[in-house]
Amino acid sequence: MAHDIPASSDRAYDVSKTEDEWRGELSAAEYHVLREAGTERPFSSSFETDTTEAVYACRACGSELFRSDTKFDAHCGWPAFYSPLAEDRVEYIEDTTMGMKRTEVRCANCGSHLGHVFQGEGFDTPTDLRYCINGISLTQEPVQG
């Protein structure tokens, strides 16, 4: 069953900082991915295959974005999820770079780049979506219990 990917919202971000402030808080690699829409090297994040029961939050602002119960191994080189924690946690931006049309995923709380979402790839997930997220853009908080 296919699901439509929502269009981007034009709302203001709750967390708003200057680029100099972001540079002061993030490492060079984190800044490149989160603030310049870069991509980490494939297979460089331990989160890709990590099976810890956890909540994944935006590294830039701490907003909770994904849960481990929606994470799956897509063998793509980056952590993959089939759904965000809630639709208001992320925003979607049309991305036409690299000669193709893709949907960029950003943190709705601070506007930081997380990765991209793809639809219709045939994964056996409830949504038929693959949120391909840069591990460097996330923090992991293990669930206690």
- 74 contact partners, CB below 8 Å, separation of at least 6: 80, 123, 130, 132
Strand-strand pairing, 64-67 and 71-72: unpaired
For residue 9, give the DSSP letter: P
- Is 132 part of the annotated catalytic residue set? yes
Residues 79/68, Cβ–Cβ less than 8 Å: no
Strand-strand pairing, 80-81 and 71-72: antiparallel
Return the ∠ at Cα 76 (arms to 61 and 32), rounded to 5°.
35
Could you say which of 61, 107, 110, 132 is catalytic?
132
Using CA atoms, how far apart are residues 60 and 131, in angstroms rounded to an integer? Answer: 18
Q: Active-site positions? A: 132
